[in-house]
A and B are shown apart, each in its own frame.
Chain A
Amino acid sequence: MSKLHVTTSVNGQPEEVLCEPHQSLLDVLRDELGLTGTKEGCSTGDCGACSVTLDGRLVCSCLVLAAEAEGKEVGTIEGVANPDGLHVLQQKFLEHAALQCGICTPGFIVAAKVLLERDPNPDETTIRYWLAGNLCRCTGYDKIIRAVQDAATELAHEA
């Protein structure tokens, strides 16, 4: 089985990888590019720990073949903070103690960031529905919701 040559962009950086046709985007990010911030939980699209963006669209990277990233822009947790510091969402997750073990946290932050880009002022119900594809076993979700609400408020003030 010959490998596929995939040219893509990850967090704004051009990347070229050789991957097996069956390899998921998750496997290639973690095993070929060393970006282990994206986590593998269920590998069936149920837990959301592997959430990334593909041309700005929120996807479970375990359900995307790496070959599908050809010519597209991939966004992962490693690209959320900027050189000046943490993203507001990351700061608010810390302030609200919206994480314990942290395995789901990259997925939640990537997903919440897409939500706030689309809807800068979401109500609680909207946030809960948007994050319904991300599972957390430690926090009980409430602190995560409050962190996202607080981040939305702060981003609105900054705008």
Chain B
Amino acid sequence: MAEAHDLKVIGTRPVRPDGVEKVTGRANFGADLHLPGMIHGKVLRSPYAHARIKSVDVSGALAMEGVLAAVCRSDFPEETDDLGRNVIARDKVLYHGHAVAAVAATTPLLAEQALDAIKVDYDVLEPVLSIDQAIADGATLVNEEMHTNGDASQPASNVAAITKFERGDAEKGFAEADVVVEGEYRVPMAHQGYIEPHACTATINEEGKITVWCSTQGHFDVRTQTAAILGTSISKVKVIASEIGGGFGGKLSV
């Protein structure tokens, strides 16, 4: 075994390389970038857990002074996937808080006020509020395009995936056991609870080249997904990861 003084790393107490920036407040996190002429975005979210969107009218927001843009589903490519549908609701809202429209304005307050000027006409549908309700025979389908484990040969289902972890012969084990204890276990929905909220600053130039600065655990994924959601090529998107104020898996995707 090597003598302690021969070891370059083990047994030392190195100071983390980003430490000084972080204890002095100089480290730049997702919301710390301020660009000249920067405008602010706000998202209008569904007040319903399950509803069909009959129409979205952003013209009231666009007419307001200081509001520079307002978007809804019709501003995004038709062809999309689950992530695209999550970023902006299409024909239906699938949960309370699902994004329906967004505005950009010269100040955060103006953007917030502009959300009130957006008119959304909903046809409110029966919500599915528990696992039992979701998996029952004839259950109301929330996402009509979802198939269990992505198997489109099967009918649409509220069950996104079934995952089994198996080892050995469980039936044989139960048969041979002296005592069998049975129970049903449920785990509540959990959120990662990082202290830094999701934050992002972006620019786009005349050629359609986009630069995104954001708090993320995977800037290449964000690049791929941003390009797909906007219907552009990944060569036009550059993503620069900021310091990240906690993620725990919750900042992996757009």
Closest to B15 in A: A94
- Residue of B32, B107, B109 touching A36 (CB-CB under 8 A): B32
Cα A37 to Cα B243 with chains together (Å): 12
B29 to chain A, nearest CB (A): 6
A4 to chain B, nearest CB (A): 14
- Interface secondary structure of A, over-half rule: loop
- Residue of B20, B244, B246 touching A94 (CB-CB under 8 A): B20
* Residue contact B24 to A86, C-beta cutoff 8 Å: yes
B86 to chain A, nearest CB (A): 23
Contacting residues of chain B (27-47) with chain A, CB-CB under 8 angstroms: 27-29, 31-32, 34
Task: Assess whether B19 is interfacial by the CB under 8 Å rule.
Answer: yes
* Residue contact A36 to B246, C-beta cutoff 8 Å: no
- Residue of B20, B193, B195 touching A103 (CB-CB under 8 A): B195
Task: Assess whether A77 is interfacial by the CB under 8 Å rule.
Answer: yes
* Residue contact A137 to B24, C-beta cutoff 8 Å: no
- Interface secondary structure of B, over-half rule: loop
A134 to chain B, nearest CB (A): 10
Interface size on A, residues (CB 8 A): 38
Across-interface contacts of B243 in A (CB, < 8 A): 101-103
* Residue contact A102 to B245, C-beta cutoff 8 Å: yes
Interface size on B, residues (CB 8 A): 31
Closest to A38 in B: B25
Task: Assess whether B174 is interfacial by the CB under 8 Å rule.
Answer: no
* Residue contact B246 to A101, C-beta cutoff 8 Å: yes
- Residue of B16, B26, B32 touching A97 (CB-CB under 8 A): B16
Q: What 1/0 flags go to A116-138 for Cβ under 8 Å of B? A: 00000000000000000001111
Task: Assess whether A80 is interfacial by the CB under 8 Å rule.
Answer: yes
A128 to chain B, nearest CB (A): 18
Across-interface contacts of A81 in B (CB, < 8 A): 24
Closest to B29 in A: A103
The answer to whether A40 and B31 touch (CB under 8 A), given A47-B195, A86-B20, A103-B245, is yes
Listed in ascending order, the chain B residues whose CB lies under 8 Å from chain A are: 13, 15-16, 18-29, 31-32, 34, 107, 109, 193-197, 243-248
Listed in ascending order, the chain A residues whose CB lies under 8 Å from chain B are: 20, 22, 30-31, 34-42, 47, 49, 76-78, 80-81, 86, 90, 93-95, 97, 99, 101-106, 109, 135-138
